[in-house]
């Protein structure tokens, strides 16, 4: 068991509201389009078009300027119809290459070469990549996701991986091994599978070194957000728990909302950790800024879920949670004191 002094030391290192607030770029007339965050999402298969919407809209509603969605060509029209706020890229041509199977292998290779080239070119313009919302387990979709992860690593870009992106990682752990700018967001089932891939007991109740800490260590310091009644966040060095109240209805899409909130927060953290000209606060280390970004995104996700649930109860849907992000942020950022405690900032 941890001693009182160890628990006090852990509490002292927990990200504060002031820490998270410092990451948020103030809106000024000097900003130009894109400085608030340029987010990319790879997902959106023919069968799953809603997930990238929830992820992308959460990113935009929190404050990102631009959201690019890389998807299957058969999903593009549906995703475009949800909102004109996304930039949709139907780079993944599963049907076209399937129709050519056994007929023109050179043309198929050329199509995939162009797809990979287009993805790599787009990633150079972005701050953060999200992998997984609506991805499916189609082998070609997963291959495109794998390529995107590899390119993002080459660009030293933060990566948020969820849903079937985690299926890819559990089968190919080396894909993110040691890449500390990756954030994995497993639910209880996905967490168990990732633990199995690393020979870790997911049910380990060791308070000094819980399973989430062991899993992060096993992945070489990749940030793990173990979603549950309490969200546990670890970078292999410490564990932070986010326990503010959330909604009781678990509608599909709430995990995708978290990935969008994480993407925007990590984009802000990336900018902040590189800002040596910040006159108000010295630039934070990239590691501390990333953990703070993850903590704050989990807090916001749970609070917006709670607010939506209060209004709609059993009928609440993830689209209702999205609607709470903007209004909540007015209280959370615009009205809260810069040095407020989390509870004061959350509840006003």
Q: Which residues contact 72 (CB under 8 A, 6 or more apart)?
A: 44, 45, 46, 90, 92, 93, 94, 95, 141
Bridge-based pairing of strands 159-161 and 128-131 is parallel
Structural domain boundaries of the chain? 31-347
Q: How far is CA 101 from CA 26, 57, 139, 198, 248, in A?
A: 52, 36, 14, 37, 47
Provide the annotated binding site: 134, 187-193, 227-231, 246-256
Token duo for residue 301: 């996700």
Token duo for residue 74: 């058969």
Q: What is the mean pLDDT of residues 239-256?
A: 93
Burial class of residue 229 in the structure, from the number of CB atoms within 10 Å of its CB (0-12 exposed, 13-18 middle, 19+ buried): exposed
How does residue 19 score in pLDDT terms, banded at 50, 70 and 90?
Answer: very high
Q: Mention the CATH class of domain 31-347.
A: alpha beta
3-state class percentages of the chain: helix first, strand second, coil last, to nearest 5: 55, 10, 35
Asked if 347 and 315 count as a contact pair (C-beta separation under 8 A), the reply is no
pLDDT digit string, tens, across residues 106-162: 899 999 999 999 999 999 999 999 999 999 999 999 999 999 999 999 999 999 999
pLDDT digit string, tens, across residues 312-332: 999 999 999 999 999 999 999
Provide the annotated binding site for (6S)-NADPHX: 134, 187-193, 256
Bridge-based pairing of strands 239-242 and 231-234 is antiparallel
For the chain, what is the mean pLDDT?
A: 91
Give this prediction's pTM: 0.93
* Proportion of the chain above pLDDT 70, given as a percent: 93
Distance CA 269, CA 286 (A): 7
Provide the annotated binding site for ATP: 227-231, 246-255
Phi, psi of 68, deg, nearest 5: -105, 135
How does residue 276 score in pLDDT terms, banded at 50, 70 and 90?
Answer: very low
Q: What is the structure's pLDDT at 279?
A: 40
Asked if 222 and 179 count as a contact pair (C-beta separation under 8 A), the reply is yes
Q: How far is CA 162 from CA 42, 190, 225, 291, in A?
A: 11, 9, 10, 17
Q: What is the structure's pLDDT at 231?
A: 97
């Amino acid at each position: 068991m941890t001693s009182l002094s160890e628990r006090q030391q852990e509490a002292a290192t927990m990200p504060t509201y002031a820490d998270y607030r410092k990451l948020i770029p103030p809106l000024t007339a000097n900003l130009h389009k894109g400085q608030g965050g340029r987010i990319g999402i790879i997902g959106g298969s023919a069968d799953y078009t809603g997930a990238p919407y929830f992820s992308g809209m959460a990113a935009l509603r929190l404050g990102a300027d631009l959201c690019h969605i890389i998807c299957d060509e058969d999903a593009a029209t549906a995703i475009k119809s949800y909102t004109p706020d996304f930039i949709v890229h139907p780079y993944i041509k599963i049907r076209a290459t399937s129709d050519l199977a056994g007929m023109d292998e050179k043309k198929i290779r050329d199509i995939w070469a162009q797809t990979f080239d287009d993805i790599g070119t787009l990633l150079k313009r972005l701050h953060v990549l999200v992998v997984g919302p609506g991805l499916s387990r189609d082998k070609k979709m997963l291959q495109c996701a794998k390529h995107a992860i590899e390119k993002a690593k080459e660009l030293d870009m933060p990566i948020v991986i969820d849903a079937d992106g985690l299926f890819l990682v559990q089968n190919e752990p080396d894909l993110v091994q040691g890449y500390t700018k990756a954030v994995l967001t497993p639910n209880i089932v996905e967490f168990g599978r990732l633990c199995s891939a690393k020979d870790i007991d997911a049910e380990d109740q060791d308070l000094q070194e819980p399973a989430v800490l062991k899993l992060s260590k096993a992945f070489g310091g990749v940030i793990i957000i173990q979603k549950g009644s309490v969200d546990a966040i670890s970078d292999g060095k410490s564990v932070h728990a986010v326990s503010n109240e959330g909604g009781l209805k678990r509608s599909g899409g709430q995990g995708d909302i978290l990935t969008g909130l994480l993407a925007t927060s990590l984009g802000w953290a990336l900018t902040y950790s590189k800002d040596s000209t910040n006159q108000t606060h010295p630039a934070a280390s990239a590691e501390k800024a990333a953990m703070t970004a993850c903590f704050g995104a989990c807090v916001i996700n749970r609070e917006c879920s709670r607010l939506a649930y209060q209004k709609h109860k059993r009928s609440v849907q993830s689209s209702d949670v999205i609607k709470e992000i903007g209004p909540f942020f007015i209280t959370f950022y615009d009205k809260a004191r810069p040095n407020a405690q989390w509870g004061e900032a959350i509840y006003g």
